[in-house]
Each structure stands twice: as structure tokens, then as C-alpha cells.
Amino acid sequence: MSARARIVGWMLLLVALALSVSLFATWTILLGRLDDRVNEELHNETEKLRSYAENVDSTGWTVSELLDSYLAVNVPDRWETFFTLVDARPDSISGVPAPVRLDEDEALVEILGEATVPRPGRWPSAAGEVRYATIPVRMTGDDRSGHFVVAVFYDLHREEVVESVRVLAFTALAALTLAGGAGWFVAGRVLAPVRLVRQAAAQITDSSDLTRRLRVSGNDDVAALAATFNHMLDRLERAFAAQREFVDDAGHELRTPITVIRGHLELMGEDDQAETLALVTDELARMNRIVDDLLTLAKAGQPDFLSPEEVELADLTVSVVAKARALGDRRWRVEEVAEERVLADRQRLTQALVQLTANAVRHTRVGDLVAVGSSVRDGLVRLWVRDSGPGVPAEDRERIFERFVRGGSRTGEGAGLGLAIVRSIAESHGGTVKVEESPGGGALFVMKFPCKEVG
């Protein structure tokens, strides 16, 4: 069963339960009110007869005359009848026709005629249950006994309640049907993004297309699900792209050293084994560096690429210069240090700065200046490496950060992956890296990223 059907089914079940409880409560309340109304009517008729007998001038009247006089002025309500008994025999009946002539029921008349005090009761009749009250009446000077009987046809009143509840039940059923149709429509609209997620997942499963995205509208849970699915697709697309780039890059860059090694091994003679071994070892070392760089680039898009920790920028700057001195005989300088502690990945920042210093060493000569600095301004951390080499042509300043690119006058050894790694590290910190013209000539590589201070 689909989620849409389950949602609508549960909704209809709950609505039906609520309507059933409401109908039962209505039924109970209406019957309770009917009982109260009937009892109150019987009591009122008793009091009305007593009041009439006390206020009317009945001097010289017989019991029959008093009862007939009262019947003449008191008209029964709907589904109600009055009649009188004299000496336990039917005497008079109200002028309004009754559903059933109760005064002709000998068993009932016998019971009514025996009452010596006002007494209520119930009696089955052809019109259903009857609720009555019999009121004994005596007159001075008349030895006969009289009874005034008020009878309410309870089942006829009850049938009206049943009819009302029946109408409510049919109305509730119609409302339930409409609610089911409306719920089916609304559930379809609400679950549309979920269907799109399923369809998109099915399409992705059947093909390699990761470019499909869901349209997100609103701010409810379903919209959040669609947004999360889109975010997952973004990460999958980047992961697959990184995988393809890694495979392409590895095949592109490793093919050359493998070809060199194979060629030398094929041509190797007994006299040049040492030279060939040295060349093979060098090429294998270069292949190892290339693989390490490619793996670093492949991991750059992963959530665990960075391991943030507390980093003291001053210590980072000084330690990078200390490590870089072994790269070459240059005029090493700590240009500026930031006395700040930030949240960042110390190892990755060190890797980026060492890569920039190695790049500077490759493009300078003995005695040239290589300076490293750090600062925090306007909420941004700035880390830079400046050299007094030939600089970078303006047309190459963006291109050199791409993979396997070595631009202009800054040529040399390497696979062209170092600056691409620096850019990946900067972007992983939410920042950028760019090369500028150094004020004194040469190149100035600046890495910037938001300053996240340690709390």
C-alpha cells in the first residue's frame, strides 16, 4: 500500500472515530434531555391541576364536573393525551386525537384506578412506550373517586431523536467521503516531492546521470527532505567528478614515467644497469609523489578532508619558515605574524604554505628573498609567501592553479599539482588563493579564509 493510501486511510479512520464518538454523545445527550423534558411535563401537569383546583370556584361540583372543566381549558401537547377516570372507569378524554386510545386499555385503566397518590409509570402500547402520571382527585360532597391521567407517547418523541441522529449520521458520512477525496488530493500534493525523490533515485539507479535536481518550495518537512536529497546529489556528483578526475589524472600523469621505465628496461644492457636503476628509482619516486598529490586532491571534496583544531598563527608562520629553510639557500624572512588563535586545520595550512615556499624556491636563485607572513584583517586570515623571482605573467595568474599547469616564465620540475592542492586547501577552509605582483618584484601568493576564533 502506498504512503498516500496509508495517510488517507489513517485520516479517514480517525475522522470516522471522531464522528462516531460525536454521534454517540449527541444521541446520549438528546435522549437524556428527552427524559428530563417528559418528567418535567408530567410534573408540570400535576402542579397545573392542583393550582386549577385551588383557584376555580368549584362549589357544588362533582368530581366528573371538575375534571371535565379542566380538560376543557387544558390542551395536550404533541404526542400527549389526557383522560379521566371516575370510580376506576373511563369518563372523559381530551379533544385532541391520540395515537392510541389508552382509556380503552382495561389493564392500564385498572392500574390507574388503584392509585391513591400521584404516581408516575410506564406502559407498553401499540404506539410504543408510554410514560404517564395518574393524579387522584376528590371532591367534597361526592363519594366517587376521580383520576386525572397525563400520558406522553415516549417512543414517538424518541423516534424524532432517532431521525435527527440518522440525518446527522448521513451528513457525517457525506462529510467523511468529501474529507477522503480532499485528503487524497492534498496528500498527493504534499507527497509529490517524495514521489519525485523516488523517481529521481530510480533514474539515477538506472543511469549515471547525477544532474537531476528536485524543485524545492515551502519550508515544511517534505521541502527539507527534497533539499537534503538535492544536497546529497550535489555531494555524489562532486564525488563522482573527483573520482573521474582522479582516474583521468592518474592515467594521464603516470603513463609517462611508466613508459620511460619500460623503455629503459627494454634497452638496458649489462654496462648501464646502475644508470638504468637510478633512473627507474627516480621515476618511481616521482610516480609516488604524483599519486600522493592526486590522492590529496581527490580527498579535498570529502567532509573529513579537514581536521579543525586551535591554531596559533604566529607559531604556524615561524614553524613553516623553519621547515622551508632546508628547501634551498635563500634569504628566508618572517615578514609579519598575527598574534591570533583560529580554528583551522594546522597540518593542511602547513602543507599549503610549504608547497608555496617550495614553488618559490624552484623559481628563485641562491640568495633571493623568500618571505612568509600572516595577518588577520576585517575578519579574514591572510597567509602569504613572497619571493623576488621573475613573477607570474598576468595571463597565467588564474590558470596556474589548475591541475598539470605550469605557466609562463615559472617553469620547472613537478607535475603541476602543487598549486592545485593549495587552492583545494584554501577552498576547504571557505577561502581563496591568488597570486599578485609583489611590490619589490617577484610573485606574492596570498591565501585568505574566514577567521573562526577559538571560543
Could you read off the pLDDT of 219-242 as tens digits, one per residue? 777 778 778 878 887 877 777 776
Q: In which residue ranges of the chain is pLDDT below 70?
A: 204-209, 214-216, 242-243, 245-262, 264-272, 276, 279, 283, 286, 289-290, 293-294, 297-303, 404-416, 455
**pLDDT computed for residue 409 by the predictor:** 46
Tell whether pTM > 0.75. no
Per the domain annotation, does 385 fall within a domain?
yes
Say which DSSP state 269 is in. Answer: -
Domain count, the chain: 3
Last residue of a domain, one of 141, 160, 179: 160
Give every strand in the sheet of 331-336, ordered side by side.
331-336, 369-377, 380-387, 443-450, 432-437
**Reduced to 3 states, what is the DSSP secondary structure of residue 281?**
helix
Same domain? 84 vs 55: yes
Same domain? 14 vs 156: yes
**pLDDT computed for residue 329 by the predictor:** 92
Per the domain annotation, does 215 fall within a domain?
no
Same domain? 31 vs 114: yes
> Contact at 8 Å (CB) between 424 and 300?
yes
At residue 183's C-alpha, the angle toward residues 179 and 189, to 5°, is 150
List all residues 6 or more positions away from 437 whose beta carbon is below 8 Å from its beta carbon. Answer: 391, 443, 444
Last residue of a domain, one of 160, 181, 202: 160
Same domain? 288 vs 321: no
> Contact at 8 Å (CB) between 155 and 128?
yes
Last residue of a domain, one of 111, 138, 160: 160
> Contact at 8 Å (CB) between 136 and 117?
yes
Q: How many CB atoms lie within 10 A of CB 42?
A: 20
CA distances from 225 to 114, 202, 211, 228, 279 (A): 81, 17, 18, 5, 56
**pLDDT computed for residue 250 by the predictor:** 62
DSSP 326-357: GG-S-EEEEEE----EEEE-HHHHHHHHHHHH
Which of 176, 139, 120, 156 is closest to 59 using CA atoms?
A: 139
Same domain? 295 vs 335: no
Backbone angles phi, psi at 81, to 5 degrees: -145, 150
Residue 122's domain spans which residues?
Answer: 3-160
Could you read off the pLDDT of 392-428 as tens digits, one per residue? 888 888 888 887 666 544 444 555 678 888 999 999 9
Q: How many CB atoms lie within 10 A of CB 369?
A: 19
CATH assignment at residue 229: 1.10.287
Same domain? 285 vs 336: no
